[in-house]
A and B are shown apart, each in its own frame.
Chain A
Amino acid sequence: MKFSNSIDVIAYCKEQGVPLHQASMDYEIQKTGRSYGYIKDYLRNVLGVMSNAVHLGITDEDNLIKGKIIGNDSVLLKKRYESEKTVCGKTIAIAVSYALSTMEVNASMGKVVASPTAGSCGVLPAVLITMKERFDLDEDKLIEGLLAANMVGSVVARNATISGAEGGCQAEVGTASAMASAAVVHMMGGTPEQAFNAAAMCFKNLLGLVCDPIAGLVESPCAKRNGMGAANALMCAEMALSGIVSIIPFDEVVEAMYRVGKAMPPSLRETSMGGLATTKTGIQIKTDLFK
C-alpha cells in the first residue's frame, strides 16, 4: 500500500470497501510497524492532551496562562458567547475560543499536541472538541476523526510542506484547517471524496497566507489565525457535506500551495523579517521584549 496522493487513498477506500479512518490506520500500521492497539492508545492520549489544553485556557479566569504577548482572549470570547447573542452563531464562536485557548496554553509552555505543528496546534482540538460537545460524539468517533485528519496531513507532508519556514502560514494553519475539516466531514458520515473536497476548499481559502510572527514568537498573529483556521474548517466541512465540490481537486490545490510557498520571499516565511513582524507596533513589541 502506498498513498502518494488523495486519489490513491480514495481508490483504496473503494477497492477495499473501508472507511477513510481505516485506510489511515492500515497505512500507519504498515509504515510504523506499530500495532492497531498502540496507535489507538496513542490517539486516546492525544485526545486527552487536546481536551485538557482547551479546558485549561478557557477556564483561566485569573489570566495566569499566557505568553509574552497573548493571553486571556479565549476567556473574553467565552464570556461573550455565554451571555450575549453571538454574531456568527455559537458553534463557530466556541470553536474559535477553543483554538485561542490552546494557543494560550502553548505560549505559556503548557502541554499541547503539535498537529501538525506547535504553531497550528489550536485548530484540530478546537474543531474536535466543539464537534464532540455539539453532537455528543464518543471517543471512538473522535479517534476516527483524528485518523481522517492524519490522512490529509500525511498527503500534504508527502507532496508539499507543513512547515511555516518552508511554506508560510498556509502550510501550517492551512494544513491544520484542512485536516480538521476532513475530520468533521468524516465524523458526520461524509465520503472520503467529500473529506478531501473540504480539505481542498480549506487550503484554497488560505492560499498565500504568510508566516510573520511578531518578535519571532509563536503567539501573534498565530493564535487568531488558529481561530480562523478552525472557523474555516467548519465552514468548508459544511459546504462539502452539502455536496459542494472544490473546482480544483485536492492534489492540485496542495501542489499550488507548495508552489506559492516556494515563491514567497524568505522574509514572509517565519523569519520575522516582514509582514506584521516589521510593522511599527511589531518592532516596538520586539524591542520591549528583548531589551
Chain B
Amino acid sequence: MNDYNIFDIIGPIMIGPSSSHTAGACRIGYTAQNIIKLPITEVEFVLYGSFAKTYKGHGTDIALLGGFLGLKPDDERLVDAFKIAENRGLKYSFLTSEDDTDHPNTVKIIAHTNRLEKWEIIGVSIGGGKMIIRSINGIDVQYTGDYNTLVTHHKDSSGMLARIATVLSESRINIAFMKLYREEKGLKAIGIIETDENIEQQVINELLRLDGMLYVNVIGKIYE
C-alpha cells in the first residue's frame, strides 16, 4: 500500500487498542448500517479468523456494534456500545466461526430491518484502520469507503446504468468509479458509484423516480 497520507501516518485518531481489530472493525459496522440505512431491529456478527480468536481482548465486539450504531472510530461513546444498543432496543449477538476465510480479520453482519428484510454484509479489516466491504447480500463487491458513494438497488435491465449516469451528470456530479454487481441476469443488481462531490437528497429523489429503481442510498466517505 503506497497511498498513505498524513491522516494515515499521523492518524487515525481512534479509540484503542488496535487499528485493525478496533478502528477497522468499527468502520465495517459503521459502513454496514450506512448501506442498509433502514431501522434495524436485530443484528448478528459472525467473526472469523483472528477476529474470532481475539475479539474480546481487542474490544472488536464493542467496536463492531458501536460502528453499527453509527459511531465513528474516534467516538468515546464506543465503550458504551452495548448499553446504547440496549437503550435503542437493538438486539445483538456475536458468534464465532472456524470456517476458513481469505482474510484473517473477517466479519459477516446479518441484520434484520423493521420491514422484516434480512441483510448480509461481509467486511474485512485490512490494517491501519482501513476496511473493505466484500459482499452485500451475496453479491461480491469491493467497497472501500474512500469516496462519497451511491448504492443503488435496481432491476437488472438494459440502459439502467446510463440513466443513473445521466441523472448524476445533470447534477454536475463527477463519477470517480462505478461498478455494477448482479445477483442473476434480469433480476436484482447493485450499483456502487463513487463520486467526488456530495450527493444531495434531490439527486436521490430523482434516481428513485427512475423506472426499475428499488432503493437508493448514499454513504459519506468514512476517512478524513
Which residue of A67, A154, A289 is within 8 Å of B17 (Cβ)?
Answer: A67
**Separation in Å of the B9 CB from the closest CB of chain A?**
4
- The 0/1 profile, CB within 8 Å of A marked 1, for residues 210-224 of chain B is 000000000000001
**Separation in Å of the B189 CB from the closest CB of chain A?**
31
**Separation in Å of the A136 CB from the closest CB of chain B?**
23
Q: Which of A105, A154, A219 has the most CB of B within 10 A?
A: A154
Determine the chain B residues whose CB is within 8 A of the CB of A162 once the complex forms: 4, 9, 128
- The answer, yes or no, to whether B205 is at the interface (CB within 8 Å) is no
Which residue of A114, A217, A219 is within 8 Å of B11 (Cβ)?
Answer: A114
**Separation in Å of the B131 CB from the closest CB of chain A?**
14
> Are B13 and A113 interface neighbours, CB within 8 A?
yes
Determine the chain A residues whose CB is within 8 A of the CB of B78 once the complex forms: 109
Determine the chain A residues whose CB is within 8 A of the CB of B23 once the complex forms: 114, 118
- The 0/1 profile, CB within 8 Å of A marked 1, for residues 141-177 of chain B is 0000000000000000000000000000000000000
> Are A153 and B10 interface neighbours, CB within 8 A?
yes
Number of A positions contacting B (CB below 8 A): 49
> Are B5 and A31 interface neighbours, CB within 8 A?
yes
Determine the chain A residues whose CB is within 8 A of the CB of B57 once the complex forms: 68, 215-217, 289-290
- The answer, yes or no, to whether A261 is at the interface (CB within 8 Å) is no
> Are B14 and A111 interface neighbours, CB within 8 A?
yes
Number of B positions contacting A (CB below 8 A): 36
- The answer, yes or no, to whether A169 is at the interface (CB within 8 Å) is no
> Are A118 and B17 interface neighbours, CB within 8 A?
yes
Which stretch, A41-49, A192-200, A236-244, A250-258, touches the partner chain B? A41-49
Q: Which of B5, B10, B53 has the most CB of A within 10 A?
A: B10
Name the residue of chain B whose CB is nearest to the CB of A107.
Answer: B17
- The answer, yes or no, to whether A16 is at the interface (CB within 8 Å) is no
Determine the chain A residues whose CB is within 8 A of the CB of B74 once the complex forms: 111
> Bound state CA distance, A24 and B224, in angstroms?
17
- The answer, yes or no, to whether B1 is at the interface (CB within 8 Å) is yes
Are A109 and B17 CB-contacts (below 8 A) given A114-B23, A118-B23, A216-B54? yes
> Bound state CA distance, A227 and B9, in angstroms?
19
> Are A165 and B127 interface neighbours, CB within 8 A?
yes
Which residue of A112, A117, A219 is within 8 Å of B128 (Cβ)?
Answer: A117
**Separation in Å of the A124 CB from the closest CB of chain B?**
8
> Are A121 and B16 interface neighbours, CB within 8 A?
yes
Determine the chain B residues whose CB is within 8 A of the CB of A115 once the complex forms: 9-11
Which residue of B7, B8, B15, B62 is within 8 Å of A110 (Cβ)?
Answer: B15
- The 0/1 profile, CB within 8 Å of B marked 1, for residues 7-31 of chain A is 0000000000000000010001001
> Are A109 and B18 interface neighbours, CB within 8 A?
no
> Are A28 and B5 interface neighbours, CB within 8 A?
yes
- The 0/1 profile, CB within 8 Å of B marked 1, for residues 65-80 of chain A is 0011000000000000
CB-defined A-B contacts under 8 Å, sample of 13: A42-B7, A45-B13, A105-B16, A109-B78, A113-B11, A113-B13, A153-B10, A162-B4, A162-B128, A215-B57, A216-B58, A217-B54, A218-B58
**Besides A46-B13, A68-B57, A108-B16, 8 new A-B residue pairs in contact (Cβ under 8 A), listed by A number:** A39-B6, A109-B15, A109-B59, A113-B11, A118-B19, A149-B9, A179-B9, A217-B58
> Would you list the 6 A-B pairs with minimal beta carbon distance, nearest first?
A106-B16, A153-B9, A157-B4, A216-B54, A218-B17, A118-B19
Interface residues of B (CB under 8 A from A): 1-2, 4-19, 22-23, 50, 53-54, 56-59, 62, 74, 76, 78-79, 127-129, 224
Interface residues of A (CB under 8 A from B): 24, 28, 31-32, 34, 39, 42-43, 45-46, 49, 67-68, 105-119, 121, 124, 146-147, 149-150, 153-154, 157-158, 162-163, 165, 179, 215-219, 289-290
